[in-house]
Amino acid sequence: MQAQVSWQHDLNFVGTTESGHTLVLDGNGQSLSPMEAVLLSVGACSSIDVVDILKKSRQTVSACDCKLQAERAENPPRYFTKIHAHYVVTGEGLSDKHVARAVQLSAEKYCSVILMLKDTVAITTSYEIVV
């Protein structure tokens, strides 16, 4: 995997992946900050796992939202110290057992972003089912 980040102006950068996707990142709050991108990556990566695992378990999923809360160190470098991911899974006849297992498997085995951060960030999860 390859990518490039190019300075545009001020603290504004454009990231381009080898697949041709782009993302604007900004250190002045005019666009997504790099830390916001990391936080969103936790939610997106783990939600992909949760939905995929539930579908493979023949669960009917119609929506999956991951609400993220993070705490950062007070002094530079202001890395994440805690992240909590709360999954709101909507579907028909969803099994509590299957949703709990999907969230657990994502956090402990499959989500590469969570696994990459787990040794330095306290990561917790929870979920709720909406029918």
DSSP 42-71: HHHHHHHHHHHHHHHTT-EEEEEEEEEEEE
Residue 33 has pLDDT above 90, yes or no: yes
Pair (1, 53) in one structural domain: no
- We report the CATH number of the domain holding residue 24 as 2.20.25.10
Contact 102, 61 (CB under 8 A): no
Pair (26, 53) in one structural domain: no
- We report the CATH number of the domain holding residue 106 as 3.30.300.20
Tell me the residue range of the domain where 5 lies: 1-32
129 pLDDT band, cuts 50/70/90, is: very high
Pair (28, 49) in one structural domain: no
Pair (100, 116) in one structural domain: yes
Mean pLDDT value of segment 69-82: 97
Residue 131 has pLDDT above 90, yes or no: no
- Considering its fold, how many domains does the chain have in total? 2
β-pairing verdict for 80-92 and 122-130: parallel
Q: What is the pTM of this model?
A: 0.94
Mean pLDDT value of segment 58-71: 98
pLDDT the model gives residue 23: 97
Pair (1, 18) in one structural domain: yes
Residue 99 has pLDDT above 90, yes or no: yes
